[in-house]
């Protein structure tokens, strides 16, 4: 049985991944359109969120099989594509690599919370 603190962290992971999933079409569109203002608006919160997610997943790893290591290479490629302003590659990585993984993780956490 999960403790209240663990439920709180897992709920935060579920909520964060759901927010990223909802936001992803806007992020992808901003990169595809090379909309610098929107890219700037979205990028830092996403990166900070990914860092938080890594910590939250680590704190709860005994309850699930989620690991940021699953997309470590994708994140490295994402950081490179953002640094070199390769907007098409960045959009593709968000849409075809990050989004499906967040959808999978959101489902796993939602299922875990339903059981408990």
Q: What is the pTM of this model?
A: 0.91
How many structural domains comprise the chain? 1
Contact between 28 and 20 (Cβ < 8 Å): no
- Closest Cα partner for 72 from 87, 57, 88? 57
% the chain with pLDDT above 90: 91
Tokens linked to 49: 């969120």
SS3 102: helix
Mean pLDDT of 17-25: 97
Structural domain containing residue 86: 4-115
Whether residue 2 has pLDDT greater than 90? no
Q: What is the pLDDT of residue 66?
A: 95
| CB atoms inside a 10 Å sphere around CB 73 | 10
């Amino acid at each position: 049985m999960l403790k209240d603190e663990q439920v709180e962290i897992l709920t935060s992971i579920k909520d964060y991944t759901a927010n990223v999933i909802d936001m992803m079409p806007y992020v992808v569109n901003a990169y595809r359109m090379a909309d610098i203002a929107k890219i700037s608006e979205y990028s830092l919160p996403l990166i900070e969120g990914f860092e938080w997610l890594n910590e939250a997943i680590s704190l709860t790893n005994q309850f699930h099989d989620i690991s940021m290591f699953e997309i470590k290479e994708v994140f490295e490629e994402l950081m490179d594509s953002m640094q070199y302003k390769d907007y098409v590659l960045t959009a593709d990585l968000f849409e075809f690599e990050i989004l499906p993984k967040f959808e999978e993780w959101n489902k796993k956490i939602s299922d875990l919370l339903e059981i408990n």
